[in-house]
Structure 1
Amino acid sequence: MRFGLVGTGYWARETHGPGIQASGNELVGVWGRDAAKRAELAEALGVEAFSSHDALLEAVDAVSYAVPPDVQAPLALDAARAGRHLLLDKPVALDSGTARELCDAARDSGSRSVVFFTARYTPEMRSWLDELAEAEGWHGSWTEWIASNQRPESPYKDSPWRQREGALWDIGPHLLGTLIPALGPVSSVAAVAGRGDTVHLSLTHESGAVSTATIALWGPESAYTWGMRVWGDTGISPAPTPTTSAVTALATAADELAAAVSNDTEHPLGLDFGVQVVELLAEAATQLGRRRTQ
Structure 2
Amino acid sequence: MRFGLLGTGPWAERTHGPALRDHPGAELAGVWGRRPEAAARLAERLGTRPYDDVDALLADCDAVAVALPPDIQAPLAVRAAKAGRHLLLDKPVATTVAAAREVAEAAEGAGVASVVFFTMRFRPETARWIEEQRAVGGWQVGRADWLAGIFGEGAGESPYAASPWRREKGGLWDVGPHALSVLLGVLGDVADLDGSVAAVSGPAGGTVQLALRHASGAASTCALSLAVSPAAATTAVELRGTAGAVSLPDGWTDASTAFGHAVDALLASARTGEPHPCDVRLGLRVTEILAAAEARLRR
Q: What's the TM-score, normalizing by structure 2?
A: 0.95
Separation (CA, whole Å) in 2 of partners of 1:158 and 1:218: 14
Letter in 1 for 2:273: D
Superposed CA offset, 1:211-231 (max 9, x none): 111111111223222211111
Paired residue for 2:201? 193
Superposed CA offset, 1:1-41 (max 9, x none): 10000000000000001111232211111000111111100
Q: Is the 8 A contact 1:25 1:255 kept in 2?
A: no
Aligned to 2:219, which of 210, 234, 243?
A: 210
Shift of 1:153: 3.1
> Is residue 269 of structure 1 aligned with residue 273 of structure 2?
no
Paired residue for 1:234? 243
Separation (CA, whole Å) in 2 of partners of 1:34 and 1:78: 19
Runs of 4+ in structure 1 off by over 3 angstroms are none
Which 5+ residue runs of structure 2 have no aligned equivalent? none
Separation (CA, whole Å) in 2 of partners of 1:130 and 1:260: 19
Q: Is the 8 A contact 1:193 1:288 kept in 2?
A: yes
Paired residue for 1:162? 166
Q: Is the 8 A contact 1:80 1:109 kept in 2?
A: yes
Paired residue for 2:27? 26
Shift of 1:143: 2.1
Superposed CA RMSD: 1.1
Separation (CA, whole Å) in 2 of partners of 1:153 and 1:240: 27
Which 5+ residue runs of structure 1 have no aligned equivalent? none
Shift of 1:62: 0.1
> Is residue 244 of structure 1 aligned with residue 245 of structure 2?
no
State the SS of the aligned residue for 2:43.
helix
Q: Is the 8 A contact 1:22 1:248 kept in 2?
A: no
Paired residue for 2:50? 49
Separation (CA, whole Å) in 1 of partners of 2:43 and 2:50: 5
Mapping for residues 62-211 of structure 1, pairs under 5 Å: 62-150=63-151, 151-187=155-191, 188-195=196-203, 196-211=205-220
Superposed CA offset, 1:79-128 (max 9, x none): 11111110000010111111111111111111110000011011111211
Shift of 1:184: 1.2
Q: Is the 8 A contact 2:19 2:260 kept in 1?
A: yes
Q: Is the 8 A contact 2:141 2:219 kept in 1?
A: yes
Q: Is the 8 A contact 2:144 2:183 kept in 1?
A: no
State the SS of the aligned residue for 1:288.
helix
Shift of 1:181: 1.1
> Is residue 282 of structure 1 aligned with residue 291 of structure 2?
yes
State the SS of the aligned residue for 1:177.
helix
Shift of 1:133: 2.0
Figure out how many residues of one structure are paired with residues of the other and give that number. Answer: 290
Letter in 2 for 1:183: L
Q: Is the 8 A contact 2:269 2:275 kept in 1?
A: yes
Superposed CA offset, 1:119-146 (max 9, x none): 1011111211122123211111122222
Shift of 1:152: 2.4
Letter in 2 for 1:192: V
